[in-house]
């Protein structure tokens, strides 16, 4: 299979060993991936399958946000960066390879009676103009606004969707990865946050008491991300500093191949077909 770029182009470790460095030393057999927490669980599963089919290899997957993935690839401390968004204009010198599509959705506690929020209401909630759920058809309780930390691509996408700057947001809680966001909403019935649709759908399906709200009247589902009708979606990219060779190339090709599609779907993402 040819490797081609796709134009749409707290650290947790999934240790999934000989050393393979970003310099391209193919005598060793280790890869280091860092970056987006959205991609890390999927990358960890792909890594385990890849290792089982390539004895003697070791793939270390570490989170820290998309910005970390970009920076680590640029400075050579990671072989592959995980970036859950398109590359920015100033990053176009890097090489991005999409392995899946995902959306960003609004989550509230499953017991919250609110079933929909308009974009204007979301803006007012996140900027502090709406502070009580009763103002949007909910119970008489103060809203706990959960925001993402700087360096998280989910934050950038959400701000772009609302046409806001992060300085305008009035959060009560600032979290890092999707798991923290989901845990915060589970523990606070009055909280509102935004996370990966894949992560939220997976948790909801497995009994976690959260629910995804529609955006622009479109349900936050994997099917709507797949069809392109959901308004806030993004590619999940593996990024390298130079054109990948050796073990890095093999891993990226494997991650994008039909051999990994069941793992992508198991994480509630949309596989990308490479022709």
Condensed to tens digits (0 to 9), the pLDDT of residues 62-108 reads 999 999 999 999 999 999 999 999 999 999 899 999 999 999 999 99
Q: How many CB atoms lie within 10 A of CB 243?
A: 10
Residue 54 pLDDT exceeds 60: yes
- Asked if 73 contacts 169 with a C-beta cutoff of 8 angstroms, the reply is no
- pLDDT at position 151: 83
Question: What is the arithmetic mean of pLDDT over 216-239?
Answer: 95
Fold of the CATH domain 13-101+235-271: D-Maltodextrin-Binding Protein; domain 2 (3.40.190)
4 has a pLDDT exceeding 70: no
How confident is the prediction for the chain on average, in pLDDT?
Answer: 90
Q: What per-residue confidence (pLDDT) applies to 229?
A: 96
Instruction: For the chain, give every domain's residue range.
Output: 13-101+235-271, 102-227
CA distance 145 to 163: 17
pLDDT band at 2 (very low <50, low <70, confident <90, very high): very low
**Tens-digit pLDDT profile for residues 178-225:** 999 999 999 999 999 999 999 999 999 999 999 999 999 999 999 999
Q: What are 130-186's pLDDT values in tens digits?
A: 999 999 999 999 999 999 998 888 999 999 999 999 999 999 999 988 999 999 999
pLDDT at residue 27 above 70?
no
3-state class of 262 per DSSP? helix
pLDDT for 179: 92
How far does Cα 124 stand from its chain's mean position?
A: 25
| Residue 183, SS3 per DSSP | helix
- Euclidean distance between CA atoms 182 and 192, whole angstroms: 10
pTM: 0.82
- Strand 270-271 and strand 144-148: the pairing is unpaired
Do the domains 102-227 and 13-101+235-271 match in fold? yes
- As its CATH architecture, domain 102-227 has 3-Layer(aba) Sandwich (3.40)
């Amino acid at each position: 299979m040819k490797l081609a770029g796709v134009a749409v182009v707290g650290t947790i470790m999934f240790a999934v060993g000989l050393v393979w460095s970003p310099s391209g030393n193919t005598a060793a057999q280790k890869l280091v991936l860092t970056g987006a927490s959205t991609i890390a669980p999927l990358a960890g599963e792909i890594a385990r399958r890849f290792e089982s089919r390539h004895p003697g290899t070791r793939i270390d997957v570490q989170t820290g946000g998309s910005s970390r993935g970009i920076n680590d690839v640029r400075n050579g401390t990671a072989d592959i960066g995980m970036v859950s968004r398109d590359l920015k204009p100033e990053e176009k010198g890097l090489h991005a390879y999409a392995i899946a599509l995902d959306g960003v959705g609004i989550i509230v506690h499953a017991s919250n009676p609110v079933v929909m929020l308009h974009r204007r209401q979301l803006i007012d909630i996140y900027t502090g103009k709406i502070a009580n759920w009763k103002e949007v058809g909910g119970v008489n309780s103060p809203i706990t606004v959960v925001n993402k930390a700087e360096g998280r691509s989910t934050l950038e996408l959400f701000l772009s969707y609302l046409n806001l700057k992060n300085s305008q947001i009035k959060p009560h809680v600032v979290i890092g990865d999707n798991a923290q966001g989901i845990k915060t909403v589970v523990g606070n019935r009055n909280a509102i946050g935004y996370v990966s649709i894949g992560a939220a759908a997976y948790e909801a399906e497995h009994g976690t008491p959260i629910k995804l709200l529609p955006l622009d009247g479109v349900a936050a589902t994997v099917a709507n991300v797949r069809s392109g009708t959901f308004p806030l979606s993004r590619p999940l990219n593996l990024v390298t500093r130079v054109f990948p060779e050796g073990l890095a190339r093999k891993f990226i090709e494997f991650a994008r191949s039909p051999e990994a599609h069941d793992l992508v779907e198991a994480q509630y993402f949309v596989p990308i077909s490479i022709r």
